[in-house]
Amino acid sequence: MAVAQNDVSSRRLGVLVPLDGSANAERALRWAETLAEAAHMEIVLLRVALPPRAAVLLAPMVGQADDSGSDRRQLCDEYLRSLSVDLREKGVETKCETRSLEALD
């Protein structure tokens, strides 16, 4: 299947950065920042709000051990916003996306 030239040229390129709150993810964000600045691209920050069972199991790695889904989502939103402010102050366009992961069963 071919893509029409005008369809491709009208899209804005961006860098998707999935973040789990770890130091490694934030180090990867610095690489994405460098790429986005050089290529004039937007950075899309993505965090997944884990369901309670997964949050408890993965809490030591990703820091999401509370019981409330809305609280987890709010914490994710706040985390991404804090990173976004820093990037925007440096002139990098950002978009924040928090997604909810439903039950693993």
Radius of gyration of the chain from its Cα atoms, rounded to whole angstroms: 16
The answer, yes or no, to whether residue 105 has pLDDT greater than 60, is no
Rounded mean pLDDT of the chain?
78
* 0.75 exceeded by pTM: no
Band of pLDDT at residue 100, cut at 50, 70 and 90: confident
Contact 73, 98 (CB under 8 A): yes
Using a pLDDT cut of 90, give the percent of the chain over it: 50
Phi, psi of 15 (to 5 degrees): -115, 120
Q: Is 85 left (phi over 0), alpha (psi -120 to 50) or beta?
A: alpha
- Max intra-chain CA distance, the chain: 48
Q: What is the pLDDT of residues 26-72, one digit of tens each?
A: 999 999 999 999 999 999 999 988 776 655 455 544 454 445 556 88
Band of pLDDT at residue 2, cut at 50, 70 and 90: very low
Structural domains of the chain, with CATH: 13-100 (3.40.50.620)
The rounded distance, in Å, linking the Cα atoms of 75 and 85 is 15
